[in-house]
Structure 1
């Protein structure tokens, strides 16, 4: 198949809250045998009839049948697309795993049965192995209806399993809190080869994940990282940084990196040590101290020529594919400009340049922003002994108590459930459905925690009590705070909040606000976020003509699918990856599978019927 270059403008972002998708209203199913229900559907599946589907049926496909990521809404669209693609791809060896069927109970109004299944395709390359879930509920007439289908690409037929890589050591026996820092130093900085099937730019969690999956599939690759050592993308962050997601969510592919001896919220050193262990255990091909300078695409040869800088030397490498894993959301800072900056006598920096507050003992500290990083910096200032710490809040902020977050994810990420199983539970739902489920669970807990939030508001913090975690992650890529302890310090007045006016200009001793008040400061840290659009971040590396034909990265399209992430973004040979550690780990496998299919000469054909008209 010949790839076509996208010449249309970039896909506009949609809002998740505007997408269709409703949870089924169904009675409690606790007295229903899910195995028997699964057996009922085994005879008719996959030859679904329109009447089998609920009128609000949803189907999300992850490269299994559509060759890309698609979500179809409504009985009509699901039936037509499902019927056409089953006819086209001809699934066989369909096995409904009735013994694994389970009841999903969200609350007293919403419940259904998830029925796992597997299948293979027999027509149109590439031939693939897939899994899925059929979600059924009993309607008001006592009839079982399919309300959701999820289909997931698992492997390419006849190829090694993407999720398996032989390790040199047993990960579970090591404690990364004491892991050494020698993993990167053993990596040779010379190139035995100058051509690879894939170059991965960036050696953090996203790049390491993709590289590991490419290795499992036998694709020749190299990961280029600008930092001197593996793990530095974490190790060189500010000293107080911790993950705001659970330890069991933090693993990279193929095995657990972090054992139960480590804290629930890992430090930067622990994360970095885990990445070094990953590279050492699986012999991942990383070249550190290497920075991409520029690249050019040959349309005739379908090859990238990349100039790589190592100290004072320039290497020229070529590749069929380039994956950008350069840390969208944490590399290019955004920082507001206020008047009279030159008159301020203190220190100004963005959080990207922040390391520690230990040298500022006794000074007056101000943090601009109130999301995760801002809370970390303010807490570090307080613990370091600054004479005062004030957070400047420019808009209301959703505070998600860490215990609420843990309660909603513990069934997916724990020391018993395999990480790959948790990932499928977490990431395979249509985002419109994940959003509604998360809001039901988190809002119920927030309603029970009123005193905690009252105390924050009394301290002057402008609070969103009932947030939307899916929209925060996929529409905004952050802007919230997972409360791992700093909110209590705000409530007690240990950290002050300035939320009643906006900064307008600097003064010699601090900041002036639009209500005429002045806030004294010796050091001001801007925790105001980063440019999250990878297309913008990498345009200088791939050239304007290519960048103009690549879609914007992140934010969702009219089906609720991420734009440009983990799939063909509009130009051949370019791939974008990023997001949280979980996104990098789970979705990196899909990038590797698409690249493997291409180098085999059987690239995925993307099904583009019924695309939303936006």
Structure 2
């Protein structure tokens, strides 16, 4: 088994050379290069799709015809990225190498993982392969290699200055944007910034009055639950003096600064009322309502929905809630516990928001009862919840993003099963204390943990920053929803006859899926054509995310800051390729 860096580099280089030669020759055999259990994830580079193929037979069946069309060549270890090395991924020791290559239309990066084949003399063969499009030839991002000269070099003292030009650009008085981005959170900012660098005219619209309000208006104590080094937006990393866990208002202010620095066109106080697609014109007819109440008709070629994993509060059908005489709000409407000092509150739902709101109310002096509707995954925020991001604590952000994109679903599930088992050991004392008081615990489908709960349903877990300890100790009361007979004016009546008095009930019950929003804004036909959004389908990729959908000109981007940073590049490249006639619309 190879163990020297030079040998590892040679092995990776030789595999890439053999791979390129086999692809180029009609008689070349690819079969000896792949393990039986192997995975190929292609992100636009050869297929123009985001897809994963499992098993050597499936890979070999598609690889050659796709390569014949894309003409991949010039495969070589990228000297500017992490050097080939032995690593452990999904419990398997493997050689990992980052490489670069070219196709007819673009340049790409990839990740190759080699493992010894015991059935073939321990010859190193491909276990996983990523081929990802990085840029389009002739349409490269406008970064410092093409930094504009600006007006200092040649100024028109009587003409518009930079601010005049920015205001004119953002007003859209005489044009429509090529792309309308609906939603100004991390998803909207990331895709708009990527499009800006590709010279695609994009306008962000958001219903809130200030940039960043989607974070600023959340409950008072909120901070991000993952660490700062994972959460950068494209092109502008957070300053090195930022805290490990970013407060919501600090992030909101950064969003505003980001829009200004990246020169993104952004309309605040603007509601997207819906639209229809004109197939003959290949444009949308959409209606926007501005902050002053006026409406504006626009005709973009593309609409990107960047409204989050979901945008419509899920209000469970609990008929007796109408009997409650106190204040009833969804978690999205909750702001601060200070107004409830000395009062009594019931929180329905035990995900992140439910726990955080319960802790905020308790810290403000309220008497709090947490109501559990279904089993919940609990993990301490440190170290357990951060295990998934361990790779980001070393190496460059660019390398880590590429490595994250390279993991096929099956191996990602295996990795998270291992991380979940490790987390359970770290958190055993807390989990035991919760179980003793009747808290129903869950560790995800097949033990895949919180990450896959998020990717499949957008919630169902809590990163413990203290609330679980309060629940376990009895400082915050716990009631199972199944034990509630119904709600009355005073609060909740249990099946045993006891009354839980309340002045406030918070429904921390999550949100409806994005398909509900699509149905509302675009109609039944478009919603049926697009189908389910988020979660995994048979193709082992997030459904209808970051890619063309069956509805021409309609796209979806959502997720964490890291997901949006990584996948905004690929969505922007598809839109640019469509704009330049390199790719059909659907």
> One fold, TM greater than 0.5?
yes
Shift of 1:411: 4.1
Within 5 A, what are the aligned runs for 1:61-76? 61-76=42-57
Residues 345-401 of structure 1, C-alpha deviation per residue, up to 9 Å, x if partnerless? 221111011111111111111110111000110010011111x21111112111122
Structure 1 or 2: more helix by fraction: 2
Structure 2 counterpart SS, 1:437? helix
Matches of 2:178 and 2:5 in 1, distance apart?
A: 54
- Return the match for 1:425 from 399, 403, 412: 403
- C-alpha change, 1:309 and 1:448, in structure 2 (3 Å) is closer
SS in 2 for 1:251: coil
CA distance in 1: counterparts of 2:15 and 2:275, whole angstroms: 52
The answer to whether 1:103 aligns with 2:86 is yes
CA contact (8 A) 2:384 2:423 kept: no
From 148, 173, 177, the counterpart of 1:192: 173
Q: 1:18 maps to which residue? A: none
Flag the 1:474–1:409 CA change in 2: closer, same or farther, 3 A: closer
RMSD: 2.6
Go from structure 1 to structure 2 and tell me whether the alpha carbon gap of 1:228 and 1:453 turns closer, same or farther (over 3 Å shift). Answer: same
Q: Describe the SS at the equivalent of 2:377.
A: strand
Could you tell me which of 428, 441, 444 is aligned with 1:450? 428
Question: 1:369 and 1:596 mapped to 2: Cα distance?
Answer: 42
Partner in structure 2 of residue 373 of structure 1:
353
The one of 2, 7, 10 equivalent to 1:36 is: 10
1:441 to 2:415 alignment? no
Q: CA deviation at 1:421?
A: 2.5
1:378-417 pair list within 5 angstroms: 378-386=358-366, 388-405=367-384, 407-414=386-393, 417=395
TM-score (norm 1): 0.85
Cα gap change, 1:136 to 1:30, in 2 (>3 Å): same
> Contact conserved, 1:334 with 1:529, CA < 8 A, in 2?
yes
1:280-338 deviations in Å (ceiling 9; x for gaps): 11111111111112322111110112211112211121111111112233x21112232
Gaps of 5+ in 1: 1-26, 169-182, 607-614
Structure 1 residues 97, 584: CA separation in 2 closer, same or farther (over 3 Å shift)?
closer
| Matched-pair contact (CA < 8 Å) for 2:5–2:85 | no
Describe the superposition over 1:435-470 as per-residue Cα deviations: whole angstroms up to 9, x where unpaired: 111221331242243222212222332223555234
Task: Tell me by how many angstroms 1:234 deviates.
Answer: 0.7
CA offset at residue 412 of structure 1?
3.4
Alignment TM-score, normalising by the size of structure 2: 0.89
**CA shift digits 1:228-259 (9 cap, x unpaired):** 111111111121222112112222110212x3
Report the number of matched residues.
554
> Cα distance, 1:563 vs. partner?
0.8
Structure 2: which 5+ residue stretches go unaligned?
Answer: 23-28, 149-162
Q: Are residues 1:276 and 2:256 paired?
A: yes
Alignment partner, residue 453 of structure 2: 472
SS of aligned partner of 2:392: coil
Of residues 334, 350, 353, the one that matches 2:333 is 353
Indicate conservation of the 8 Å contact 1:202/1:326, yes or no. yes
